Structure 1
Amino acid sequence: MTENNRIEYKRELTDRLEKEVIAFLNYHDGGIIYIGIDKYGAVYGVSECDALQLVIMDRLKNNIQPSCLGLFDVIHETREGKDIIKIIVASGTEKPYYLRRFGMSEKGCFIRIGSASEPMTQRMIEELFARRTRNSIARIRSLRQDLTFEQLKIYYQEAGLTLGDKFAANLELLTEDGVYNYAGYLLADQNGNSVQVAKYAGTDRVDLLESKDYGFCCLVKTCKQILDRLEGVENRVINKITPRERISRSLWDKVALREAVINAIIHNDYSTELVPKFEIFADRLEITSAGTVHPGSEQDDFFAGYSMPRNKTLMRVFKDLAMVEYLGSGMPRILKAYPREAYTFSTHFIRTTFPVSPEALALEKDVMKAEAKTSGAQSKGLVTGQVTGQVTGQVTGQVERWMYDVLTACIDPKKSMEIQEIIGIKHRETFQRNYLDLLLEQGLLVRTIPDKPQSRFQRYKTTAQGQTFLKQNRQ
């Protein structure tokens, strides 16, 4: 409970708050300010916590330049039964930050040195300004200027917020010249930005099952579409009911998956004109985004949740819409489920790899065995003696309707997904083992590309035996 280069304690709110925040904005690691704790670590608490939060946010919004919106969070916490305020400040990308009333001068610019916030020298100010990021999406002019934002307005309305006439300026969607910037382009109703989700049959990129682009619309909508696909479709939940309990396992941790998807979309380096990519393999999910995190302390800060937001405008919008909670909270949530080794860093990219849960796979095998035993026994009982070599035997017993429907449909070759829809089985592995394989084993169906069973061009066609079977069992 002592102050250091990243922690500042204040017993109460004072006129020095902006100075401390500016020092952390200009510091390479950012920092945290606690209101209601004195410099010795004793907890005094604050009164009227909600009102105090609003005052702090208003002061930081209006008294600091360049705008630090999206670079700080003001959070209410409780310690020793007392209310305190926690202000999380990220390192900014538009250094030097300064007090509006003093401008970019020694009276207005501060930086964190040890446990103190010190004035910057004129030389430091000039060097920081010279290095100020030139490729920020807030500084890049939009490819188009005929932008509309109806989708964004709807999302804000659903969050209980309203975008006024000056929303483009308030959300920092304009350049210094007053035209739409690249952040505005990404959040507009129509744009050229899309994000790819690819699915492969195996553990490499040889057999592509599906590739779909999501986007060309507001980035918030794109994010929601990808979350719907990964959370609602791909991250299947396996359930097993035992005499004692119901066991449920998902392929990937739900919280970590959501955080990783949103992080990749918010923090992608769009100035490179590259977009995030999501790839689903038989044994893992890979999320790749454009960006760089250097080895050493920068990576340590990244995993601690201290890294600076690459796109503060996007961060601010997603936070307004409650799609992220507070600054730096995503990485700790991910690390609860996956180790640091889930991340790999290259010169221009960051890749997140989530392996498929072995517990989920083991549970799925148990469920499939039970289903196969029941369904297989029923199916074999219904079709015993009907096919041997050439179809010469007669059907004994009632033939299930699904066999007739599938064989009829596959007179014209069909994809496995199309056959699965005909039967109405949602679980892909259950469909493969208990239905499709049965028809193949009986010689009623055949693959159109037999030497490449996993090919994305694979189709299934009713054989001559299958057609004879249909004639003998008209329904």
Structure 2
Amino acid sequence: MELGSESGTVAFKTDMRQLDKGLISLTAMVNRANHGTVYFGVDSTGYVSGLQVDAPLFDKIRYAVRKNILPRLTVDVVEHVSTDGKSYVSVSAAGFETPYSYDGRYYVRNSVNDDMATPETISRLVLARRFDAMKETEAYSQDLTFETFGALMVSHGRRPRRDRGYYNTIGLLTREGDFNLNAYLLADRNSVRLQVTEYYGTTKEAFSKITDYGGKCLFTAMREVYDRVKMRNQRTVNTDQGVRAGTALFDAECLKEAWFNACLHNSWRTGIPPMLSIFDDRFEIESVGTIPFGLPQEDFFGGRSMPVNESLYNLASSLGFNEHVGRGVPLVTDRYGRNTVRIKSGTVTVTIPFAFEPAWVADREWTAEYGMPVSPQEEEVLDYLLFYTDAKLADISENTGLNLSSVKRIIVKLKSKGLLENTGTNRNSIWQVSSSYRRD
């Protein structure tokens, strides 16, 4: 009788003298594919040669597994009998807490070979565990409430309940029934800080400010960051050849996909949240993690989806945060090029470049050279008052072509900018234009 051929998840060993090699193959397969089976009493061609099976043999296998494989791996040991009456044994396992070691060493299945894992491979296995680590990581606090998350679910037609059975169904509890890391991230209060960091220039040398959006339900904080940053979008207008066309500063949809994906695929067990940085020429979104182990880079850039935090990802999908599975990376690379996604040193960085110089950069540069920036209408008012310091509001309106309500509004703005003061009584007011306002 023949069992076929060896593969990435199947290995054959002739007898129990190859027990160590067989269990090395098992850990290598689990590290690669999260499951595997080793047959003892079967030669390398798949032919059942048979072996003597008794109770001590089962004990020997289980003891070797307990002694040598870490983290603990539960195995299923089964005796089989071939059609010609020969006994053989299968040892099967499924595990998701990769990487697993055998006798202190790590192996990864490569076709039908068991290769020693390099330090880089081990790091990738740790950062890109295929199992849902979020579900089995106990929350830092068990005193959690979910009013905000519950309201989000109701707004999407769900009917959340406040009981452990429901929390378990949606992935908020560990196997032991405690709140897990998913629950902590989605709770009304937590210590997770989503931050937007701003810099002057195109490097991190000149720091401007940090805005904190954390301490609340992750989904709410994600949306707040995106909504606030999206407001920075601007549009230039080109009327060449009589056609009115506009160019946006950045693609808002690319920004949304990149930011939401960073939050949902971040390696949250490190305790490091994703960050959005604003430079003069781009956004940068950085998260902790890497391409899932076993997922070719071409498949990653092609849009193949392999969620690292599957239960969190599924909850986000049900609430409309990622409507198109696998869409994010191709959307960004098709729009901005493949080099905008950088994967290195356990981090993923996505760059969203600006199409032109943002107004806030131009304003800052103008302010540095000339003082507080002003609009064309404000310039008209200031230019007039430089020469007619005793002008009335009606005079300003008549000579600038601005209506009276606009003049009043502009006067208030100029005062708030420190560019204009007036002294004296209402009837005999004297205007003083700040010396920081200079005209070429």
TM-score by shorter chain over 0.5: yes
Asked whether the 8 Å contact 1:238–1:360 carries over to 2, the reply is: no
Aligned length: 304
Whole-Å separation in 1 of the counterparts to 2:157 and 2:308 = 27
How far is the alpha carbon of 1:252 from its aligned partner?
1.2
Q: Secondary structure at the match of 1:350?
A: strand
Per the alignment, do residues 259 and 471 of structure 1 end up closer, same or farther by CA in structure 2, a change over 3 Å counting? Answer: same
Distance 1:281 1:373 in 2: 24
* The one of 90, 93, 96 aligned to 1:125: 93
Deviation of 1:204 after TM superposition, in Å, equals 2.4
Q: Which residue of 2 aligns with 1:383?
A: 385
Q: How much has 1:262 moved relative to structure 2?
A: 0.6
AA paired with 1:182?
A: L
Q: Which has the greater radius of gyration? A: 2
Change (3 A) 1:318 1:237: farther
Q: Tell me the equivalent position of 2:135.
A: 138
- Residues 139-177 of structure 1, C-alpha deviation per residue, up to 9 Å, x if partnerless? 111011111111111111111122234321111111111
1:383 and 1:325 map into 2 onto residues whose CA distance is: 56
Alpha-carbon displacement from aligned partner over 1:267-319 (angstroms, at most 9, x marks no partner): 01001000010011111000011112389963222212225211111110111
Residues 105 and 240 of structure 1, relative CA distance in 2, 3 Å threshold = farther
Task: Give the 3 Å change call, closer, same or farther, for CA 345–406 of structure 1 in structure 2.
Answer: same
Q: What are the equivalent positions in structure 2 for 1:222-237 lying under 5 Å apart?
A: 222-231=221-230, 233-237=231-235
In the alignment, the residues of structure 2 paired with residue 300 and residue 467 of structure 1 have an alpha-carbon distance, to the nearest angstrom, of 69
Instruction: Give the share of equivalent positions with the same residue, in percent.
Output: 26
Question: Take 2:97 and 2:78, find their aligned partners in 1: how far apart are those partners?
Answer: 13
Distance change >3 Å, CA 322–CA 373, structure 1 → 2: closer
Q: Which amino acid aligns with 1:125?
A: A
Listed one character per residue, the Cα deviations across residues 6-58 of structure 1 (whole Å, up to 9, x for unaligned) are xxxxxxxxxxxxxxxxxxx99869xxxxxxxxxxxxxxxxxxxxxxxxxxxxx
Q: Is the 8 A contact 1:298 1:307 kept in 2?
A: no
Q: 1:242 to 1:315 in 2, by over 3 A?
A: same
Give the structure 2 partner of residue 196 of structure 1. Answer: 195
Structure 1: runs of 5+ lacking an equivalent: 6-24, 30-93, 98-102, 108-120, 387-392, 410-418, 420-435, 445-461
1:15 aligns to what? none
Shift of 1:373: 9.8
Q: Displacement, 1:135? A: 8.7
Greater CA deviation, 167-176 or 233-242?
233-242
Structure 1 counterpart SS, 2:173: coil
Matches within 5 A, 1:307-322: 307-322=305-320
Mapped partners of 2:138, 2:267: distance in 1: 15
Q: Is the 8 A contact 2:214 2:221 kept in 1?
A: yes
Q: Check conservation: 2:280, 2:358, Cα contact below 8 A.
A: no
**What amino acid is aligned across from residue 255 of structure 1 in structure 2?**
E
* Match in the other structure for 2:271: 273
Distance 1:245 1:359 in 2: 23
- In 1, the alpha carbon distance for the partners of 2:90 and 2:423 equals 87
For residues 236 and 92 of structure 2, the distance between their equivalents in structure 1, rounded to whole angstroms, comes to 58
Tell whether the 8 Å contact from 1:250 to 1:360 is kept in structure 2 after alignment: no
Q: Any stretches of 5+ residues in structure 2 without a counterpart? A: 1-6, 8-29, 35-70, 80-88, 101-128, 367-373, 398-406, 433-440
The corresponding residue for 2:430 is 472
Q: 2: distance between equivalents of 1:151 and 1:318?
A: 14
Q: Following the alignment from structure 1 to structure 2, what is the Cα–Cα distance between the partners of residues 380 and 126?
A: 75
Partner of 2:158: 161
Change (3 A) 1:181 1:129: closer
Q: How far did 1:106 drift?
A: 8.5
